[in-house]
Amino acid sequence: MTPYLIQNPPLPKNFADTFLQIDYGKGCYLYDKGGKEYLDFGSGIAVNALGYGREDLAEAAYNQMKKLIHVSNVYTTEPTVQLAETLTAAGNFAAVHFGSSGTEANEAALKYARLYGKKMKGDNAIGLISFSSGFHGRTMGALSVTATEKYKTPFGPLIPGCTILPYNDPDALKSFSDAADTAAIIVEVVQGEGGLVSLSTEMIETLNKFCAENNVILIADEVQTGLGRTGSLFASAACGLNADIITLAKPLAAGLPLSATLIPAKVNDLLSPGDHGTTFGGGPVTCQVALKVLKHINNKDFLDSVRIKGQFLSSLLQKTMKEENLKGSVLGKGLMVGLQLDSLTAEKIPAVMNECRENGLLLLRSGKAVLRIVPPLVISEKELQDGVKILFKSIKEML
């Protein structure tokens, strides 16, 4: 059965001209409009952590929708407060700003950090540091600290005061000369769009020291790594990064639009009404679903299972590479895994992904020539084996 593709729907050309039209999902599988089945190694770009067709999540959303859908942030609701309490209790945080997407979470973090810098260090302390190959979103502030030039060039000039340093280069940060006027550093523990490269131990230590000594807010962008994806609730805490602010989104409400910016007391105490806001962020429906998601994910046995399956997947990829006489690297943490093959150039990646789709497997790209594997966290080892088998079959057909 061939994929059910539609061409040129009335959607903006910044996406694509041809789409696979998905009809429904169940467990770790998606089904297109024609009935073809796909094992999902992409999870809606690391969103659907608990898989598809979850009756418990649908029931939580439905019951809340019957009761109350929206009131805005002029008021609050019990699910909103409960979720804020749950998230702040997971770390050293005083408050949560809810939004609707990862880029909104990062915009809030950057605004809060600049406000902190100006109030605590002076009006010139607006500088923002980010890193090569980093991705933080496509709205103007988040785009300004994103490294990918092709995303930025058409929309310049962007916001001033942004510096991009080499990722995993402690010396570059140590020699940075404008710390006094720097408000914040934003960094990914694992670069989701940048090839699944992880922060080195030395870089983590350097970031912690630089921010502590210079009163710089350290923002961990955990939109993709957070909430269990790497086998920990927060990847930053697990690796020893002393983040002041953590941003979350993708899996938080199981595909419903919800993000969270977790802030400490030293930032929260400086805020006044009107400094930031949102209309839809933190509504009762999305928060009720998020509470269900966290009940599943924020559990030692569940997080242990993600780490175990991540190790299983990485070992399986390395074993299969050896059997197929392919050289390369396996990258990432937990179930956020990248496969880089020396023989698989950037030009060949789209063909391999299309062949995987033909063979019933969906996955993603990261960077120029890395295949990104971010399946639902509930995936079984048998399903991982099935997916890896399809993946290498497709690679062999394209090489």
Which band of pLDDT confidence, cut at 50, 70 and 90, is reported for residue 241? very high
Is the pLDDT confidence value at 399 over 90? no
> Which residues neighbour 355 within 8 Å (Cβ) at sequence distance 6 or greater?
394, 395, 397, 398
Question: Residue 58's pLDDT is what?
Answer: 98
Please check whether residue 64 is in contact with residue 246, taking contact to mean a CB–CB distance below 8 angstroms.
no
Residue ranges of the alpha helices (H) in the chain? Answer: 43-46, 55-67, 78-89, 102-121, 140-144, 149-152, 170-174, 201-214, 235-239, 265-268, 284-297, 300-323, 349-358, 381-398
Please write the tens of the pLDDT for every residue from 73-104.
999 999 999 999 999 999 999 999 999 999 99
The two tokens of residue 249 are: 């989104």
Instruction: Give the C-alpha separation, 172 to 131, whole Å.
Output: 11
Q: What is the pLDDT of residues 313-356, one digit of tens each?
A: 999 999 999 999 999 999 999 999 999 999 999 999 999 999 99
Q: Which domains does the chain have, with CATH numbers?
A: 5-54+300-398 (3.90.1150.10), 56-297 (3.40.640.10)
Q: Which uninterrupted H or E stretch holds 3?
A: none
Lowest mean pLDDT among 10-19, 134-143, 204-213, 320-329: 10-19
The rounded distance, in Å, linking the Cα atoms of 221 and 365 is: 19
Rounded distance between C-alpha atoms, residue 109 and residue 244, angstroms: 10
| 393 Rama sector, left if φ>0, alpha if ψ -120 to 50, beta otherwise | alpha
Distance CA 372, CA 196 (A): 8
